[in-house]
Homo-oligomer: A and B are copies of this chain.
Amino acid sequence: MRKGLVIVNTGNGKGKTTAALGILFRSYGRGLRSCVLQFLKAEKSKTGEYLAAQKLGIEWHYCGDGFVFDPEEALSSAEVARAGWEMAKEKIASNDYDLIILDEMIYPLTFGWLKTDQVIDWLKANKPADLHLIITGRNAPQALAEYADLVTEMKEIKHPFHDQKLSAQPGIDF
């Protein structure tokens, strides 16, 4: 039986976005119709994953303005995130996809830019039953974890950027 899973990748470690991209890779192998909406990051972020998606014709939308963890200057970022959620709703309701990734969408929830309960209520009412949905970000709200089918916490055990003062490596970290 095909059942659309709601997958949440959370925790303080690496691998939340990365594991979502791994599923995107699998879904590409199986010819699933996929779409990525990436919150917080701005168009100018030409990451390895964005370049790969371009090469493979996988639909990719930036729904951020480059905001990085400064809630004090976040008014316009909040607007951009809300516009991203409006786009996400369109994509989800369209029934045109097998897999939709809402990357880092947990941040707009924890910052209060979007109401977690409203998002979950909307998903319960409108997400097609066979659509797989992946939502990533630190500190997943309890209500989102309860709604999800699969929740994984990525836990940092050892991290070279802290421990060895290494910079992020292209093709590996972004």
**A interface residues (Cβ-Cβ under 8 A, vs B):** 1-3, 5, 7, 9-11, 13-15, 17-30, 32, 47-56, 98-99, 132, 145, 148-160, 163-164, 166-167, 169-172, 174
Contacts and interface: CB of A to CB of B under 8 A. Distances in A.
Contact of A22 (B21, B54, B155): B21
A52 B55 CA distance: 13
Nearest to A9: B15
A18 B22 contact: yes
Given A25-B22, A29-B47, A29-B51, A148 B158 contact: yes
Contact of A32 (B11, B18, B30, B171): B171
A98 B9 CA distance: 27
